[in-house]
């Protein structure tokens, strides 16, 4: 049972991190549109979450 709960927690944490990352991206793009700059659109997007490990995702988002 404990292993199942740990796996569920891991999935929920990943989902939260992915949603937070997507929300931050939307906010940055919205801000770029209101500022009249295209810089955010020319910056390459980060790889999809499936291509990053959970630790890398957490480390990247933890500082935001």
Instruction: Return the axis-axis angle of helices 2-35 and 54-62, rounded to nearest 10°.
Output: 50
| pLDDT at 15 exceeding the cut of 60 | yes
**What span, in angstroms and rounded, lies between the C-alpha atoms of 22 and 61?**
11
The tens digit of pLDDT for each residue in 19-54 reads 999 999 999 999 988 876 555 455 555 555 555 565
Query: Is 45 inside a domain boundary?
Result: no
Q: What is the pTM of this model?
A: 0.49
For residues 8 and 59, the model is more confident at 8
Query: Is 19 inside a domain boundary?
Result: yes
**What is the number of domains present in the chain?**
1
Question: 57: number of CA atoms within 13 Å, CB side?
Answer: 20
Query: Is 18 inside a domain boundary?
Result: yes
**What span, in angstroms and rounded, lies between the C-alpha atoms of 62 and 16?**
12
Q: 20 is in which domain, residue-wise?
A: 2-36+51-62
């Amino acid at each position: 049972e404990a292993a199942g709960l740990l796996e569920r927690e891991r999935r929920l944490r990943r989902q939260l991190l992915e949603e937070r990352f997507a929300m931050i991206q939307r906010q940055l793009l919205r801000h770029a549109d209101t500022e009249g700059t295209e810089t955010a659109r020319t910056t390459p997007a980060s790889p999809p979450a499936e291509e990053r490990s959970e630790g890398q995702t957490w480390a990247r988002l933890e500082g935001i």
